[in-house]
Structures are given as C-alpha cells and as structure tokens.
C-alpha cells in the first residue's frame, strides 16, 4: 500500500478466485480481501479484480493494473490518477475512517 507516483495509488490485495460472487471484503494485515467469481485462468481473475476495483473507486478499468503477483493470490494493484489516501478512503481502509 502506498504510492509510486503521488497521483497513483498502489494497493495490496489478496484475491480469492472462483468465489460464489464478486465482492470487496475487509482489510486484513494491510491487504484488501477481494473475491471474484472468475477462475484463475488466462488472466480472467486479474481482469475481474481490476474491473471490481475500478467500479469501487469510480475510475475506468483501464486505469487499474496488476503490477505484482499476476500468478498468485497476493497482488499489488496500481490505480492511475488516484492518490493513495483517496483510494484507501474509498475502499474503507480503517486508518482513513
């Protein structure tokens, strides 16, 4: 979690693919738990993750990219043009309440 560029947020997430439904869960250990119904095949879970975060943050899906952990559950996601503090607030991080 943090920002590479002051205008870009980097968010640590833990993804659970093949869930019953897409959902953004709670923050645990500095990571946001996210469930997606998409399988972890051909990047479909990563695509679903980016779409889900984009919707929650109110940005275009093209502005959300997995930058680390593309093949695993633990990932880092960059959100272009959204400061880290604003992204964390929109996603309900406990330190921003």
pLDDT score for 97: 61
Q: Is residue 56 part of a domain?
A: yes
Q: Is residue 60 part of a domain?
A: yes
Q: Is residue 4 part of a domain?
A: no
Q: In terms of Cα–Cα distance, which of 76, 48, 53 is closest to 64?
A: 53
Q: Is residue 2 part of a domain?
A: no
Q: Is residue 1 part of a domain?
A: no
CATH number of domain containing 41: 3.30.1200.10
* Number of Cβ atoms within 10 Å of the Cβ of 65: 15
Residue span of the structural domain in which 34 resides? 9-96
Q: Which pLDDT tens digit goes with each residue over 20-66?
A: 999 999 999 999 999 999 999 999 999 999 999 999 999 999 999 99
Count of domains forming the chain: 1
């Amino acid at each position: 979690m943090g920002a590479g560029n002051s205008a870009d947020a980097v968010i640590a997430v833990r993804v659970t693919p093949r869930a019953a439904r897409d959902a953004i869960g709670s923050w645990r250990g500095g990571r946001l738990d996210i469930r997606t119904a998409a399988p972890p095949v051909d990047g479909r879970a990563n695509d679903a993750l980016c779409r889900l975060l984009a919707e929650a943050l109110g940005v275009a899906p093209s502005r959300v990219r997995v930058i680390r952990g593309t093949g695993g559950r633990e990932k880092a996601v960059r959100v272009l043009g959204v400061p880290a503090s604003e992204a964390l607030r929109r996603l309900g991080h406990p330190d921003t309440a």
